[in-house]
Structures are given as structure tokens and as C-alpha cells.
Amino acid sequence: MKKVVVIGAGPAGLMAADVLSSAGIAVQLFDAMPSIGRKFLLAGKGGLNLTHSEPADLFASRYGQRRQQIEALFKSFDAASVRAWAASLGIETFVGSSGRVFPTDMKAAPLLRAWLARLRHPTSGPPVAFFMRHRWTGWHQPASQPGDDRDIASATPLWLNFDTPQGPFNVQADAVVLALGGGSWSRLGSTGAWVPLLQAKGVAVAPLLPANCGFDVQNGWSAHFASRFAGHPFKSVAIEFTNAQGHKFARRGEFVATATGVEGSLIYAASSWLRDDILAHGTATFHLDLLPGMPLERVLTQAQHPRGSRSLTSHLKSRLHIEGIKAAILYELLSKEQMADPVLLAQAIKALPITLAAVRPLDEAISSAGGVLFEAMTEQLMLESLPGVFCTGEMLDWEAPTGGYLLTACLASGVGAGQGVLAFLRNKL
């Protein structure tokens, strides 16, 4: 019986193992962490967002420059397939008001338990064997036979080295699936330590960068603003950003002030554009609309309304319902003269410039960009320079916003890698 090693027990690795086991392949799944699916479980702590219900064309557009490659994977496993897969595990799903898809109980743990039960006790095919606390450290070179000068990492069977609590461990396989994650949330296992191991074998890897990340504002918030409003949300606002290439991002939503800058869903949606402009030019400036439902003319009329003896703070609250963090950000970024000028104040309420000067560290990001280039792989996700070695999940060079897009692509790439391995093994027979 053919044996495949999968390294990485996140959604992509588990899905690859599922595909292979269902096809009758013996699978050994290794992971450096003590337990399975740690990032998956943490991501579902506030409600597991499985996928999104929006039309396929719009869904595919969320993957930006890698749309073509990710869309190809969706031919075998798309957003509808995610819901069908969950149902096959006994997990019903529903579509929320935002179009996002969740398990009916909103939890990740029951789905993961059902999935692991199927992998360990399949109705057909061999069970998947799990090896935890096994950290992959590279390729194992066994003693060569006379006249054998092959590079063992470019021939099959493949040999792999692991560090374990009991000491070094090596294993051989007919094919390998690497599902090692990106570089965010390293405490959960995605350390990016695989990058030099693949680069040493000639695999092209784009640098790992923060995605769905926060930013620091230029010159920082004042001590007063940071102490009073860090952690407070900007609700019912909109942001607009035009990058150096002239592409425009505009969306309503909400985000959060941090002690040093901004983060949250609306910022994450624009984060790839903001990050790239900061990396290229040192700063990026977006414009914040505090009242997206009110046209500038009406805002100006209300700002110009005589306020009598009332303070400007009271005036903003009574005439425009601007208070709390929305009022605070105006006082933070505008001068006394600008606050006193109704025209300048109204313009700032509708388009307040906020300049970002730094991306928050990769380890704080929800996900990462960069990774193994698709150009370094076949269409079946096998590395061109390492036959029999497949890559999947977040270690590939793609990114997407939150909203179910990350998990859907990880699962789809897991299916793609699993199917690629099956084709590879058939061709070897």
C-alpha cells in the first residue's frame, strides 16, 4: 500500500488527508503542536465563519492577484462544497445577515471532533495515523548505496526528519503534502520555519507578510486618546483609500482604535492595499467618513447651525449625533482653528485623513501573504523542483480578507493537493 506523509494538522492538511484516506491511501499526519487544529479552534472562538454565500464571481474576486489560481481550485471544491462537507460531518450551517456562513451552533470544536472521528475511524479506507509533537526539520539522507549519488529530496521514496520529545525521528513516504501554514500566530504553530528548508532546495518563496492586520498611525495617538479610546469601535463609518496605482477602495463597516493605531474588519478588508503602499512609500493615508449616510451638504448645514452658549461638543452631539470616539478623533486630528470653522469641520467629518506609518508585526496578523509561488508548482500543487512534494493552505502565495474566504481556500487547496497526490501515485504505477 502506498504511504503519504502530511505535515501540518490545520484545515488544509486535514482535508488532504481526508481525500487520500478516502481513496485507500495510508496517511501519516505529523504536527509540531500537542493537539490538532489549534488555529482553527481559536479562529472559531467568536463564531466559526466557514465560507460566504455571495455569487461565485464576486467570491473569486476576493483573492486579488491570485484569483486565477484559487478559482481553479474551486472547480473541485467551492463555497457550496464547504457547506456540503460540513453537512456530511453532521454539522448544519446557516447564512447570516452579512452573507457569511456559520455552523448552527457557531462553534468550531464539534465540527473538528466529527472530522477527526471520520479520519480515525473511516467507513472505508485506512484510518489516518496522527503523530503530534513532531516538528519537521528537513530531509533525511540515509546511507547511500555504491554508485547512488541521488539527492534523496528529489527522488521517491522521500525521507523526512522530525524532532520529537523522544529525540530525532525519520520516516519515508511515496509522496508528501506540506501544510505548514504561513507566519501569523506562531504560538499556534505557524512559524514560517519551513521557508529556508524549501528555499535550500530551490523552491521560490515570496516573503511572508502580515495580512488582515492592524497598523500604527503616523506619530502615534496622543496619550489622552490612547488611554481613553484604545479598544473602542468606530461603528457605522466608511473608509476610502486610493493606492499609488490609482485603484480605489471604498467600503462601509466598522473598525477599532488600538493603543497605537487601528485594526478590525474594515481595516482588514483594505489591509493588503494599505500594507503595500506603506512598504513602497513609507506611509498610506485613508479617509474616514464618520457619517456615511449623510451628504456633505447636510453635514455642513448642521455644523453651521447657531449653537448659542452650547459647547462645540454638545453641538456635535445634538445636531449630528457625533460623540464618544467619533468626536474624540476630530479633536485628536484637527486644530482648534479647524474645529471652529464649520466648513473645514464638515469636510473632516466626511473625509478625515488618517495617515498610517507602519504595519503591525506578522505574528499579530490574522493571516499572512506570501509563501510558495504558484509558478514554482504544477497545476496539481506539486513542487517542480521536488517531485512528489505538494504544498497547500496558507503556505501558498495568496491572501484574502476575513469573511470565510481564508478557510474556503485552505480547504480547497487541501482537496487540490490530495487529488494531485493521487494523480502522482497513479502515474508511478
List the end-to-end C-alpha distance of the chain, in Å, as a whole number: 12
Q: What is the pLDDT of residue 216?
A: 98
Q: What is the pLDDT of residue 44?
A: 80
Q: Report the run of H or E that residue 276 belongs to, with start and end.
A: helix 265-281
Q: What is the pLDDT of residue 147?
A: 47
Exposed / middle / buried, residue 348 (Cβ in 10 Å: 0-12, 13-18, 19+): buried
Q: Report the run of H or E that residue 240 belongs to, with start and end.
A: strand 233-242
Asked whether 288 and 264 are in contact (CB, 8 A), the reply is no
Q: What is the pLDDT of residue 387?
A: 95
Q: What is the pLDDT of residue 188?
A: 87
Task: Please give the backbone phi and psi of residue 303, each rounded to the nearest 5 degrees, phi first.
Answer: -65, -30
Complete DSSP assignment for 18-86? HHHHHTT-EEEEE-SSSSS-HHHHHHTTT----EE-S-HHHHHHTTGGGHHHHHHHHTTS-HHHHHHHH
Cell 484637527 belongs to 334
Q: What is the pLDDT of residue 294?
A: 97
- Averaged over successive runs of 10 residues, the pLDDT of the chain (429 residues) comes to 94 97 96 94 88 97 96 97 98 95 95 97 92 94 52 62 96 96 89 95 97 97 98 98 92 97 96 96 97 97 92 95 97 96 97 98 95 98 96 97 95 98 90
Domains of the chain, earliest start first: 3-210+368-428 (3.50.50.60), 215-359 (no CATH)
Q: What is the pLDDT of residue 143?
A: 55
Q: What is the pLDDT of residue 22?
A: 95
Contact residues for 288 (Cβ-Cβ < 8 A; gap 6+): 234, 237, 238, 239, 329, 351, 352, 353, 354
Q: What is the pLDDT of residue 150?
A: 46
Spatial separation of the C-alpha atoms in residues 256 and 268, rounded to whole Å: 11
pTM here is 0.91
Exposed / middle / buried, residue 182 (Cβ in 10 Å: 0-12, 13-18, 19+): buried
Q: What is the pLDDT of residue 263?
A: 98
Q: What is the pLDDT of residue 43?
A: 83
Q: What is the pLDDT of residue 149?
A: 47
Q: What is the pLDDT of residue 142?
A: 61
